[in-house]
């Protein structure tokens, strides 16, 4: 039985019990179309055009800064600088890029699952 239609069991009926829709049924009523009001359309548009997440944008800026620092570090290693010189110059370069990009290095307090508190 499917949605209250059909036999309880196909046993003894001479059929396999498969229930089909009647495709030859002609409906005399049209399906009613529910149009959205202007307020609902504006609300949906506002949900679609939400501002970007600032944490994600800041993370991308930090990634770009770190990429430039890594490139500089590899270049200096190829040129034969010492590790102390490389660390010192890369850290000053990183600070300069962070100020230029407007990225802060302040740490946000997070709970045990990594969400900001």
Hey, which residues does 100 pair with through a beta bridge? none
For 67, the token pair is 């990429």
Question: Would you list the domain boundaries of the chain?
Answer: 53-101
Q: What is the pLDDT of residues 31-87, one digit of tens each?
A: 787 888 899 888 888 888 888 888 888 889 999 999 999 999 999 999 999 999 999
CA separation (Å) from 27 to 7, 39, 47, 98?
25, 33, 38, 68
Total-model pTM: 0.51
End-to-end CA gap in the chain = 53
Question: Sorting pLDDT into bands at 50, 70 and 90, what band is 15?
Answer: confident
CA gap 105, 57 in Å, rounded: 14
**Model confidence at 5: pLDDT above 90:** no
Asked whether 10 and 17 are in contact (CB, 8 A), the reply is yes
Q: What is the pLDDT of residues 81-112, one digit of tens each?
A: 999 999 999 999 999 998 888 776 665 667 77
Asked whether 3 and 20 are in contact (CB, 8 A), the reply is no
């Amino acid at each position: 039985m499917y949605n209250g239609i059909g036999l309880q069991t196909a046993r003894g009926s001479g059929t396999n019990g498969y229930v089909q829709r009647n495709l030859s049924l002609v409906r005399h009523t049209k399906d009613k179309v529910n149009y959205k009001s202007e307020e609902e359309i504006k609300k949906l548009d506002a949900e679609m055009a939400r501002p970007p997440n600032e944490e994600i944008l800041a993370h991308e800026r930090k990634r770009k800064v770190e990429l430039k620092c890594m490139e500089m570090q590899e270049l200096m290693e190829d040129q034969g600088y010492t590790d102390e010189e490389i660390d010192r110059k890369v850290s000053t370069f990183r600070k300069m890029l962070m100020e230029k990009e407007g990225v802060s290095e302040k740490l946000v307090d997070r709970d045990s699952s990594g969400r900001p508190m």
